[in-house]
Structure 1
């Protein structure tokens, strides 16, 4: 986790606008927060360099690209040793089938979010990813029926 970074009101306003629509031009951003385009550019670079902006990317509708099924997987690890936890996190972080991975407290040690074309394909992918995996003791699947809200924007 990153250390807390001091953000002023301009940084917060800029982050809020970028979360809403990162395709806005620097000129438009500058007009909205009452700074020059050059100042906006410097702030964006600073926010990227200090880790406040992790990535600027498009949010793709899963069903449009043939991945209409969202699955939440609760993974119970084989043990709680730090080496096992670190290796499992690294493996899931690098797994193309996994969109999100969270280390959590509770019954499961890791939560995975996956988007797949079908439940049959989910079964095949989990067999590859989780079956006979030395780090995984068990897993529980939750199939999302209705994506009521899917927004990564933070309340700044």
Structure 2
């Protein structure tokens, strides 16, 4: 069970995962050892799954961000597994979701240019034997960055 201090700890770590136990203790009115133990417990219990660096795609030459909807022709476990393996093998696909509705999957992709996006769709996704339809939307502007999970609602 999470208490209000745990929730505050999770909220501040989502904004800055580099905070030291000393800095956390000052923000949470705890001793540094208590703050460190709470962080370790939240990690051990799986509330904190990882720490990552958020990179700037444009500085890395990834000028195109797109969402790609994929519809499969058949929906057996073998087909789903084969498609998941394909998705897992492609670094330009940064996240993937299964959906309800017309599309079976939603993929978030980053590519260097339109030619790379075209190649991903026409040379990788569409030739896959389970794929029957692909629809893409190119992101023109991302005015709100991926944000932290809301901890205030728990």
Counterpart check, 1:24 vs 2:19:
yes
Per-residue deviation, residues 103-143 of structure 1 (Å, max 9, x unmatched)? 11111111000111111111122334313112311110100
Partner of 1:67: 62
Q: What is the TM-score when the length of structure 2 is the normalising length? A: 0.88
Root-mean-square deviation (Å): 1.6
Equivalences, count = 151
Q: Which runs of 5+ in 2 are unaligned?
A: none
Instruction: Report if the CA contact (8 A) 1:89-1:103 is conserved.
Output: no
How much has 1:55 moved relative to structure 2?
A: 1.4
For 2:148 and 2:71, locate their aligned partners in 1 and report how far apart those are by CA, in whole Å.
Answer: 29
Query: Which residue in 2 is equivalent to 1:56?
Result: 51
Map 1:1-156; keep pairs closer than 5 Å: 6-156=1-151
Structure 1 residues 40, 91: closer, same or farther in 2, change over 3 A?
farther
1:95 & 1:50 partners in 2: Cα distance?
A: 30
Task: Give the C-alpha shift of residue 92 in structure 1.
Answer: 1.5
CA offsets, 1:64-107, max 9 Å, x none? 11112111000101212233224323432342111111111111
For residues 36 and 129 of structure 1, what CA distance do their matches in structure 2 show?
53
Cα distance in 2 for partners of 1:152, 1:93 equals: 24
Shift of 1:155: 1.2
Report the TM-score, using the length of structure 1 for normalisation: 0.87
